[in-house]
């Protein structure tokens, strides 16, 4: 079920109402049924994967719990069983064909016979998210950070909790599992704040992301038809499309959980105001970044190793992050590019600081800050080219033509000969739709600027009720009047 569907508009209030009406002891049953129903709206048969994953991790964690924390050797086989099962499912559905094709290409290159069959498997929605969530659980049980959950129903709910099942935030057992057993009474502030966050998330998804998507697709589905300005606009629009698409989903997920009294972790913290790539990753998809930090980067040694090894660790983590996002070379390059940015930033730290001093930017902190934010955004956008492009060839064409033909495309836009403006500036849409897209981005940026000094939801709460109502009226009416209602899935569902 999609958060931006009419089904969810009926589903969620029903579940939330029943949640508070039912006796406490039955609430987990309701949420478990609701979560499986939510998932099975997409595909009924694929729910079996959720069941298998749940049972394996439940059994493995319970078996690990039978041994004392010091008996790691006895715990280890169960950890491996859990990890291999989860990664095996993930590999089969998501990566098999990718690696199979890569192996076939390599075999062709080396003139070696190779004939592994390809499988036409539909990628289970949200598989990377719930797999990572359960893997973190078994790893935490293994290290004795948490005790294994004895209640199978509660554990199953931890794996499938519908607000964050298909696109995160990737929750840790330490945060969510306990909450699933707590008694949540109806709370006015929680319900009101949750609904506000859901409405804002919907605005980001329907009004910004989906409106921009049409223009982005226009360029990215036929990139070789363009050079210069349309490629730049398309790429910048994609940066906002993916941000609003994914953070919009997270907002709805966090808001929906909050209505029922659950606190999910923050997933985005105004990432496009980051002053460095390192800061960007502390603000973007936080639940995944911290997952990689805790379960890959630190086990690899983190930064407590010799320098070359630290750079290697950084690079590997981002390479794996790229592969996590999708079984395609474009994602691999996207991850590698971010790894390169971080290593390069460390390698050039001194020289960059010297350059800042030489340019006198240190004495002008505001200018310096704007320059940092601008540079970071440009680097992130450059990497997004690889994330969005359909093929590596397309991505290469776009990166090498972003700044070519600028004068020609600018002239064509100004003169508007043969209606060129519609194609090159408005990216196949009308002037009005293009302007609505721009205005929506402006609204987003203004809201995020306002959020720097604290929660905007809290600030709104301090105004008199009629003022608040007017703000809600404008927000909801904007979604209705300016939203794009083609039932588009969230981009991160494919990961």
Partner 1 sequence: MKKLFFFRGFIVIATTFIFYSLVSFLYLGVLPTESNSFRNWIPNLLNTAGGYGYTLLRLNEAEKATDVDMLFIGSSQVNRGFDVRIFEKNGLEAFNLGTSAQTLFNSYYLLKEYLPTLKPEYVVLDLYWGVAKNDGIEPAIDILSNSDLDQSTLQMVLDLENGTVYNSLFAAYITRLQTPLHEIRQQKFEEFRYVSGGYTESLSTQNELDKEELADIEYQKATIHDLQLAYLQKIIRLCKSHNKKLIFVMTPVTKEYKRKVVNYSSYTSTIARIARENNIPYFDYNERKELSLISSTDFSDMNHLSQSGAEKFDKLFISDLKSSGILNHSLTIQPKQDKQPYAPL
Which residues belong to the active site? Answer: 325
Q: Which stretch binds partner 1 (CB under 8 A): 141-149, 233-241, 393-401, 478-486?
A: 478-486
**Distance of CA 39 to CAs 50, 72, 177, 198, 243, Å?**
9, 36, 20, 19, 24
Nearer to partner 1, 163 or 437 (CB): 437
How far apart are CB 261 and partner 1 at their closest, in Å? 13
Which region, judged by CB under 8 A, interacts with partner 1, from 56-64, 99-107, 449-457, 476-484? Answer: 476-484
Least distance from partner 1 to the Cβ atom of residue 472, Å: 5
Distance CA 264, CA 169 (A): 7
Minimum Å gap between C-beta 2 and partner 1 is 11
Scan for tokens 């719990």, then name that residue.
Answer: 65
Smallest gap, in angstroms, from Cβ of residue 69 to partner 1?
44
With CB under 8 A as the contact rule, the residue among 120, 432, 462, 464 that binds partner 1 is: 432
In this complex, which beta carbon is closest to partner 1, that of residue 308 or of residue 465?
Answer: 465
Which is closer to partner 1, CB of 201 or CB of 339? 201
Task: Give yes or no for residue 486 binding partner 1 (CB under 8 A).
Answer: yes
Q: Which is nearer to partner 1, 17 or 355 (CB)?
A: 17
Residue 483 binds partner 1 (CB under 8 A)? yes
The whole-angstrom separation of Cα 34 and Cα 214 is 33
Tell me, residue by residue from 178 to 207, as one string, x for binding to partner 1 by CB under 8 A and - for no binding.
Answer: --------xxx--xx-------------x-
Say how many C-beta atoms besides its own lie within 10 A of residue 370's C-beta.
12
Q: Which region, judged by CB under 8 A, interacts with partner 1, from 45-53, 105-113, 285-293, 462-470?
A: 462-470
The angle formed by the CA atoms of residues 206, 451 and 233, to the nearest 5 degrees, is: 50
Candidates 317-325, 381-389, 410-418, 424-432: pick the segment binding partner 1 (CB under 8 A): 424-432
- How many C-beta neighbours within 10 Å does residue 446 have? 10
**Distances in whole angstroms, Cα of residue 383 to Cα of each of 284, 335, 341:** 14, 8, 10
DSSP three-state, residue 274: coil
Nearer to partner 1, 6 or 84 (CB): 6
Selected from 120, 182, 350, 465, the binder of partner 1 by CB under 8 A is 465
363 CB contacts (<8 Å, ≥6 apart)? none
Stretch that binds partner 1, among 98-106, 230-238, 334-342, 463-471 (CB under 8 A): 463-471
Least Å distance, CB 305 to partner 1, is: 51
Applying CB under 8 A, among 433, 440, 444, 491 the residue interacting with partner 1 is 433
Which of 275/468 has CB closer to partner 1? 468
CB of 391 to partner 1, least distance (A): 16
What does the DSSP assignment read for 134-165? HHHHHHHHHTTSSPPP--HHHHHHHHH-GGGT
Size of the site for partner 1 (CB under 8 A): 29
Rounded to the nearest 10 degrees, what angle do helices 6-21 and 24-40 cross at? 170
6 binds partner 1 (CB under 8 A): yes
In angstroms, the CA 37 to CA 34 distance is 5
476 lies in the site for partner 1, by CB under 8 A? yes
Q: List, in sequence order, the alpha helices (H) in 182-327.
A: 188-202, 210-220, 229-259, 277-283, 286-292, 307-325
Interface with partner 1, residue 485, by CB under 8 A? yes
Q: Which pair of structure tokens corresponds to residue 365?
A: 């902190």
Place of tokens 């499988």: 119
- What is the nearest approach in angstroms of partner 1 to the Cβ of residue 492? 22
Burial of 231 (0-12, 13-18, 19+ CB in 10 A): buried
> Tokens 């776009």 appear where?
398
Q: Is 480 in the site for partner 1 (CB under 8 A)?
A: yes
Nearest to 74 by CA among 137, 172, 149, 144: 144
Closest CA to 208 of 247, 266, 265, 235: 247
Task: Report in angstroms how near the CB of residue 473 gets to partner 1 at its nearest.
Answer: 4
Which residue number, 375 or 430, has a Cβ lying nearer to partner 1? Answer: 430
Sequence-distant (6+) residues with CB within 8 A of 86 are: 53, 56, 57, 131, 134, 135
Among 374, 412, 482, 490, binds partner 1 (CB under 8 A): 482
Rg (CA), the chain: 24
Binding site for partner 1 (CB under 8 A): 5-6, 186-188, 191-192, 206, 430-433, 436, 465, 469-470, 472-474, 476-477, 480-487
């Amino acid at each position: 079920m999609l958060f931006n569907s009419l089904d969810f508009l009926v589903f969620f209030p029903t579940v939330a109402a029943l949640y508070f009406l039912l006796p406490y002891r039955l609430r987990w049953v309701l949420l478990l049924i609701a979560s499986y129903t939510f998932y099975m709206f997409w595909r009924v048969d694929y729910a079996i994967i959720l069941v298998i994953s749940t049972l394996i991790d439940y059994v493995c964690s319970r078996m690990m719990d039978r041994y004392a924390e010091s008996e790691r050797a006895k715990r280890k086989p169960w950890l491996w069983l859990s990890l291999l099962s989860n990664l095996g499912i993930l590999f089969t559905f998501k990566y098999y064909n990718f690696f199979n094709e890569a192996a076939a290409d390599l075999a062709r290159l080396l003139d070696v016979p190779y004939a592994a069959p390809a499988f036409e498997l539909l990628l289970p929605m949200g598989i990377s998210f719930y797999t990572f969530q359960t893997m973190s659980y078994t790893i935490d049980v293994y290290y004795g950070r948490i005790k294994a959950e004895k209640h199978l129903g509660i554990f199953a709910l931890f794996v499938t909790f519908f607000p964050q099942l298909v696109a995160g935030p990737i929750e840790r057992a330490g945060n969510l599992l306990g909450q699933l057993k707590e008694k949540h009474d109806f709370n006015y502030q929680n319900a009101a704040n949750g609904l506000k966050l859901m409405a804002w998330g919907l605005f980001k998804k329907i009004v910004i992301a989906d409106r921009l998507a049409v223009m982005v697709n226009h360029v990215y589905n036929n990139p070789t038809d363009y050079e210069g300005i349309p490629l730049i606009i398309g790429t910048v629009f994609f940066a906002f499309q993916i941000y609003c698409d994914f953070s919009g989903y997270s907002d709805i997920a966090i808001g929906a959980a909050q209505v029922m009294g659950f606190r999910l972790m923050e997933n985005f913290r105004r990432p496009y105001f980051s002053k460095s790539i390192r800061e960007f990753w502390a603000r973007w998809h936080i639940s995944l970044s911290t997952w990689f930090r805790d379960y890959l980067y630190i086990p690899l040694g983190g930064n407590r190793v010799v320098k070359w090894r630290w750079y290697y660790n950084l690079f590997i983590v981002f390479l794996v992050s790229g592969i996590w996002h999708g079984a395609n070379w474009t994602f691999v390059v996207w991850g590698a590019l971010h790894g390169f940015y971080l290593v390069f930033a460390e390698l050039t730290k001194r020289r960059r600081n010297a350059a800042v001093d030489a340019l006198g930017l240190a004495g002008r902190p505001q200018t310096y800050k704007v320059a940092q934010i601008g540079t970071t955004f440009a680097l992130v956008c450059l990497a997004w080219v690889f994330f969005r492009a359909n093929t590596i060839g397309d991505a290469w064409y776009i990166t090498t033509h972003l700044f070519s033909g600028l004068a020609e495309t600018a002239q064509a836009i100004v003169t508007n000969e043969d209606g060129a403006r519609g194609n090159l500036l408005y990216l196949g849409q009308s002037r009005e739709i293009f302007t609505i897209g721009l205005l929506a981005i402006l609204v987003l940026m203004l809201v995020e600027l306002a959020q720097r000094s604290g929660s905007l939801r809290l600030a709104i709460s301090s105004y008199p009720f009629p003022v608040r109502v007017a703000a809600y009226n404008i927000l909801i009416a904007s979604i209705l009047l300016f939203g794009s209602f083609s039932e588009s899935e969230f981009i991160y569902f494919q990961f």
